[in-house]
């Protein structure tokens, strides 16, 4: 590029809301790029280019075609907040992009609601499953949901037991015809109105009486998951998740109800997790659990490891094996696939699986221990301890210098 691409953030108030510096960049641009809505907000003699759809595949070629001319790109609000600015920096490098932001939609929404920005949880549904909202529902939490149909947001809240939560729809923020409507999730569902597409939903979470609140820390109650008994139990799950540690790409092999992958994603929402389960009914159940618990990005593969793992080309940074340890070649494939510096954790409840872990521990080291849990249970008129099946756990980190 002969000159940096200038990205100007523009609000719904259009030209009137721009700073003098932002106006100058638009007035002196030779090529102005943006959405049809954004381009309609300004008047300029520059050649106007409306974004094609889909945009991302076409963007590098589009920029290259105008590399010898002064390019100004229009963006909504703050271009670096879920905006085109971040994409351009990634493509061109920060030295070739100059950003002139306007107030983001989040800043405007918080100003209207009287909410501190730093204490408000923002959820973007633009290109993302709206079911991620489920993971954010906690008493007293203030949420701003971007790019979502308010009716769908209200339905999720009602189904999760948050139907009486204060519910506001903020439309065309900053524009002369800006509109704010306040009700509850239940009220909006009854209202059934269709707002302007340029809206933000603001929710202050208040659960209905008796609504459970899943904790953020590892170890959700077993009954949180729909399962048929194939489930890493709560106490063992909490220890296992602590050993799995950092985010990245997780393979959950022999996933059962998907509890490990789901809780791992709840702790690392920007990460990637793949659940591998050979039983189709359980695989379907995993998908349902992931939706309910706010991790709809969980990818579920139905098949037997290691065969099904051949379709996964990106090395995992973390692997959990909850079943299938005695399958020939499984641990070999997992260890060779694991990214250097990555973590592998495997749990065993049978003597045969335990023997496999003991052998690998002898070869590679790491930590090997047995976890025994006893739960209090009634015995006649008294209480006793009921032992759970002991679980042998092996945890090991792949050396960073080892080739992939």
CATH class, 5-103 region: alpha beta
Statement: residue 402 has pLDDT above 70: no
pLDDT of residue 191: 84
What is the percent of the chain where pLDDT is above 70? 99
Tell me how far the alpha carbon of residue 14 is from its chain's centroid.
32
Mean of pLDDT values over 103-115: 96
* Ranges of each domain in the chain: 5-103, 106-205, 222-398
Statement: residue 326 has pLDDT above 50: yes
Query: Which CATH fold would you assign to the domain 222-398?
Result: Rossmann fold (3.40.50)
pLDDT of residue 245: 87
Dihedral sign of CA atoms 234, 265, 77, 24 in order: positive
Please, which pLDDT band fits residue 193 given cuts at 50, 70 and 90?
A: confident
pLDDT of residue 146: 95
Please, which pLDDT band fits residue 241 given cuts at 50, 70 and 90?
A: very high
pLDDT of residue 404: 47
Mean of pLDDT values over 80-94: 93
Write the pLDDT tens digit of every residue in 258-272.
999 999 999 998 899
Statement: residue 192 has pLDDT above 80: no
> How far is residue 71's CA from residue 79's CA, in Å, rounded to a whole number?
15
Query: Which CATH fold would you assign to the domain 106-205?
Result: 3.30.950
Q: DSSP states of 161-228 as a string?
A: T-TTSEEEEEESTTSTT-EEEEEEHHHHHHH-----SSEEEEEE--PPTT-----SSS---GGGS--S
The reported pTM is 0.87
- For residue 328, give the nearest of 303, 356, 350, 347 by alpha carbon: 356
Please, which pLDDT band fits residue 247 given cuts at 50, 70 and 90?
A: confident
pLDDT of residue 337: 96
Write the pLDDT tens digit of every residue in 30-53.
999 999 999 999 988 899 999 998
Statement: residue 1 has pLDDT above 70: no
Statement: residue 372 has pLDDT above 90: yes
Mean of pLDDT values over 47-65: 92
Statement: residue 403 has pLDDT above 50: no
pLDDT of residue 239: 96
Place of tokens 């100003």: 111
Please, which pLDDT band fits residue 126 given cuts at 50, 70 and 90?
A: confident
């Amino acid at each position: 590029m002969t000159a940096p691409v200038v990205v100007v953030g523009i609000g719904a108030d259009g030209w009137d809301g721009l700073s003098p510096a932002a106006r100058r960049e638009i007035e002196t641009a030779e090529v102005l790029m943006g959405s049809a809505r954004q381009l309609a907000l300004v008047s300029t003699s520059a050649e106007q280019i409306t974004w094609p759809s889909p945009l991302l595949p076409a963007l590098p070629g589009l920029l290259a075609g105008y590399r010898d001319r002064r390019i100004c790109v229009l963006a909504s609000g703050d271009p670096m907040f879920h905006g085109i600015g971040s994409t351009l920096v990634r493509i061109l490098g920060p030295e070739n992009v100059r950003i002139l932001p306007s107030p983001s939609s989040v800043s405007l929404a918080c100003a209207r609601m009287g909410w501190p920005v730093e204490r408000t949880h923002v959820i973007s549904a633009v290109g993302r499953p709206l079911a991620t909202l489920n993971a954010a529902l906690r008493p007293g939490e203030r949420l701003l949901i971007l790019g979502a149909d308010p009716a769908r947001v209200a339905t999720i809240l009602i189904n999760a037991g948050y139907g009486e939560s204060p519910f506001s729809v903020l439309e065309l923020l900053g524009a002369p015809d800006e509109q704010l409507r306040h009700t509850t999730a239940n009220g909006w569902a009854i209202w059934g109105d269709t707002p302007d597409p340029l809206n933000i939903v603001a929710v202050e979470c208040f659960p209905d009486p008796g609504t459970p609140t899943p904790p953020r820390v590892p170890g959700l109650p077993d009954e949180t998951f729909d399962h048929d008994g194939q489930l890493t139990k709560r106490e063992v799950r909490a220890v296992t998740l602590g050993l799995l540690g950092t985010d990245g790409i997780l393979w959950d092999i022999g996933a059962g109800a998907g509890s490990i992958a789901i809780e791992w994603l709840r702790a690392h929402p920007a990460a990637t997790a793949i659940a591998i389960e050979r039983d189709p009914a359980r695989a379907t159940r995993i998908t349902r659990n992931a939706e309910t618990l706010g991790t709809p990005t969980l990818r579920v593969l139905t098949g037997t490891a290691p065969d099904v793992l051949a379709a996964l080309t990106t090395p995992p940074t973390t692997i959990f094996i909850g079943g299938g340890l005695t399958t020939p070649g499984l641990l070999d494939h997992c260890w060779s696939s694991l990214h250097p510096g990555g973590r592998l954790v495997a749990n065993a409840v049978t003597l045969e699986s335990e023997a496999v872990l003991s052998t690998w521990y002898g070869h590679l080291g790491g930590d090997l221990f047995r976890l025994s849990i006893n739960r209090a249970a009634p015995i006649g008129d008294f209480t006793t301890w009921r032992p759970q099946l002991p679980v042998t756990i092996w945890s090991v980190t792949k050396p960073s210098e080892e080739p992939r």
